[in-house]
Amino acid sequence: MEKVRWGFIGAGYIAKKALYPALLNSHEGEIYAVGSRDEARGKELSPTGLVYTDYNELLADPQVEAVYISLPNSLHIQWSIAAMRAGKHVLCEKPAAMNLSQLKEAIAVADETGLIFMEASWNRWHPRTIRLKEIVDSGVIGDVKEIRSAFTYNGLDEGNIRTIYELGGGGLYDLGPYSVAAPIWLMDYAPISNITTDVKWHPGGSDETLRATFDIGGARAETLTSMDTPGTLYFDVVGTKGRVSLLGNDAFVSWNKESSLELDVAGEITVEKFAACDPYQLMADSMSRRIRGGQGWLMPHSDSIAFATVFDQIFAVMGRP
């Protein structure tokens, strides 16, 4: 299969850490060009040396077949739509949109053009994540009653875009697509209710720390996102017959290292281990194969719609400082 030629729109930290090494190691896709306002930074991520300082010039290049967008959150939909209008498939960093209305606008363009538009929720491709869902669906832990999930880090400097509300900053946008979205897909997108929130606001206007709880599908979910808390990551699911937990303080960031989960049924504990893998590459390869007409799982629009719906509900309860 001829490799899919990818263009990057944005050449920041996430692009460098995530999709750059994924495509360098891929047999399905390759980095053909990079769009970056900073040409020097763009060249660091362009194996071909081709860099466009104008994103529109990259979109006008007929050799670019798909684009990966890793701009500030507030720009995701604008450039996703522009890319699809230019005939490019789109893999957009999470969150794909600032709200449900924006998301539906982009999905409408994807439906109209027949192009792939997908939110880059890379953790969903991790074999451990897939296995946790299989365990819950099997019924071995009974009916799910409690879900606990968290993703925190600290050390952001004051100028980081993640602190700026107008740019789509905040823990819910940055980390929520992992820890807040987890109960949603785990419980098959059941409606949520009885939302409560406890928020610490950053001076930049974004939510710095958010504890959100809600009922979903007969379970009570307790979620934590924080940009001002030492790194804490967990995903624990408790049912009427047992529990399953992702071990290692890496529930949503296991990347190129071994990982494990623990299953406890009636006091009988089993630990399952998973080989090191790159879920970013698994995601990009799946999409590249689909672009070429092959097989590969794509996260459906309905998942992104469910996440955006819940985020809108949580934001409505949070209010503003």
Q: Dig out the tokens for 181 from the structure.
A: 């979205």
Q: Dig out the tokens for 249 from the structure.
A: 């303080």
**Collapsed DSSP state (helix, strand, coil) of residue 276:** coil
Could you give all domains of the chain from N- to C-terminal order, each with its CATH number? 4-122+281-296 (3.40.50.720), 127-276 (3.30.360.10)
State the pLDDT confidence band at 320, using cuts at 50, 70 and 90: confident
pTM of the model: 0.97
pLDDT tens digits for range 126-177: 999 999 999 999 999 999 999 999 999 997 776 788 888 899 999 999 999 9
Catalytically annotated residue among 16, 43, 94, 145: 94
CA 267 to each of CA 144, 244, 272: distance values in angstroms, whole numbers, following the listed order:
17, 12, 16
% helix, strand, coil for the chain, step of 5: 35, 30, 35
17 tagged catalytic: no
pLDDT tens digits for range 38-83: 999 999 999 999 999 999 999 999 999 999 999 999 999 999 999 9
Closest CA to 54 of 6, 9, 11: 9
Spatial separation of the C-alpha atoms in residues 265 and 271, rounded to whole Å: 12
- Identity at 144, one-letter amino acid code: V
Distance of CA 275 to the CA centre of its chain: 21
Average pLDDT over residues 238-262: 98
